[in-house]
Amino acid sequence: MAYTCTSDVTDAPSVSATGKARTISDDRRRQLRPATLEDVARLAGVHASTASRSLAERPVRISSATVARVREAARSLGYRRDNSAAALRTGSSKLIGVLVHRLTDLALSTMYSGVDSAAAAAGYSAVVANGLDNPAVRRERLDALLARRIDGVILADARLDDTLAGHLQELGVPYVLAMRTLPGHLSVSTDDLEGGRLAARHLLEQGHRRVAVAAGDPLASTGRDRTAGFREVFAGAGLAIPDERVAATGFGVAAGHQAGDLLCELDPAPSAVFAVDDLTAVGVIGALRDAGRTVGSDVALVGYNDVELAADLPVPLTSVRSDRDLMGRLALELLLDRISGRDVSSVLLSPVLVPRASTLDARPGGDTQHRKDC
């Protein structure tokens, strides 16, 4: 029998191997239809229930050869498992919600990276939402996460005026706080009181006596505790820091610049500043520069978190290191333990001070040369 080839793409009928007439458009519609579980099972030569169990994160009572055959069939057909349907069947969506105030914050993005990596290793996916430190937005974003049938929540933007943690507790949704803490709630964080103490001891050792603080947000445990630890050490040395030398303007570059502007109005000017966050410290640097002062020469500066850019600034920044990647990983592990009903307790990581030129090269004696010209 002779066969001819044609480029005609009309709906002219063709004949299948069984002799049944079909059209090219029939094939095209079949190809456009998303692959189903039954398609996968048929190609793999197994029952649909076997195919379903083979595609689960942790197949049970299925041979590795069958699992491999089914998954290869799913891959070749472009089959995508319906996670929402699976969630209804199993009661688990394999989704974790993460609420942060801004993922553009370098410390939070590193923490989230740890969560995401640990979630993937455990067969979960992490979904992040920005709360913007706005109560209405935070509640809206949390409700959106809950609507996705997430298995649990990592709250990385808790505040003292928070109601979200209590709301999750009332709903019975497993949750863990990360980075920030609240009394009575499970958390993974750095010992921020001790971190503030480390910054203060370092500046005292460098000879600084007249200091100031860019204190971040006092409603966040990170801002509150880091500032408290810092002031505690200076008070213990007989050098109590008055409130007017503590500028609580929030976190980030813009807030840090605002804090720096306020601190430059002090008379006499501080010889050193502790910023409770590295990006806040960057803003302080800008304010000091605008006022004619140079970090690392006539004024010392300590930041917090030791984000990647800290060591690469024009004057490398002394900073208190907080292992945010580990924090994220531990928060995810703790949340999965809580989801599984295992006993859990909060984790407090130890901070480490990393000294660099922003404090090691500054001259404490310079504080007598600057009054309101700071």
* CA 156/CA 147 separation, integer angstroms: 19
Radius of gyration of the chain (CA): 29
Higher pLDDT, 353 or 9: 353
Residue 93 and residue 125 in contact, taking contact as beta carbons nearer than 8 Å:
no
* CA 359/CA 293 separation, integer angstroms: 14
Burial category of 228 from C-beta neighbours within 10 Å (exposed 0-12, middle 13-18, buried 19 and up): middle
Residue 217 and residue 185 in contact, taking contact as beta carbons nearer than 8 Å:
no
Higher pLDDT, 159 or 175: 175
Render 124-135 in DSSP notation, one character per residue.
Answer: -EEEEEE-TT-H
Model confidence at 143: pLDDT above 50 = yes
Model confidence at 277: pLDDT above 50 = yes
Q: Indicate the DSSP class of residue 80.
A: -
pLDDT at 352: 98
Q: Residue 80: how many CB atoms within 10 A of its CB?
A: 9
pLDDT level of residue 2 (50, 70, 90 thresholds): very low
In tens, the pLDDT along 81-125 reads 665 555 444 456 789 999 998 888 889 999 999 999 999 999 999
Nearest to 321 by CA among 180, 170, 175, 191: 191
For residue 103, what is the enclosing H or E element?
none
Alpha helices (runs of H) in 244-339, residue ranges in sequence order: 253-263, 278-290, 324-339
* CA 299/CA 271 separation, integer angstroms: 5
Residue 39 and residue 79 in contact, taking contact as beta carbons nearer than 8 Å:
yes
Residue 216 and residue 277 in contact, taking contact as beta carbons nearer than 8 Å:
yes
Residues forming beta bridges with residue 23, ordered by sequence position: 13
Q: Residue 244: how many CB atoms within 10 A of its CB?
A: 11
Owner of token pair 């409700």: 143
* CA 64/CA 110 separation, integer angstroms: 36
Nearest to 56 by CA among 107, 7, 92: 92
- Over range 60-83, report the average pLDDT: 84
* CA 57/CA 24 separation, integer angstroms: 38
Model confidence at 3: pLDDT above 80 = no
Lowest mean pLDDT among 94-98, 143-147, 370-374: 370-374
Reported pTM: 0.76
Owner of token pair 């319906």: 82
pLDDT at 363: 73
In tens, the pLDDT along 278-304 reads 999 999 999 999 999 999 999 999 999
Q: Residue 278: how many CB atoms within 10 A of its CB?
A: 27
Residues forming beta bridges with residue 155, ordered by sequence position: 99, 177
* CA 104/CA 202 separation, integer angstroms: 29
Instruction: List the Cα angle 347/351/354 in 5-degree steps.
Output: 160
Taking every pair of Cα atoms in the chain, the longest distance, rounded to a whole number of angstroms, is: 105
Model confidence at 4: pLDDT above 60 = no
pLDDT at 31: 47
Residue 169 and residue 200 in contact, taking contact as beta carbons nearer than 8 Å:
no
- Tokens representing 162 are 């928070």
- Tokens representing 219 are 């409603």
pLDDT at 206: 96
* CA 227/CA 230 separation, integer angstroms: 5
Owner of token pair 């004949």: 15
Name, of 118-127, 131-140, 158-167, the range with top average pLDDT: 118-127
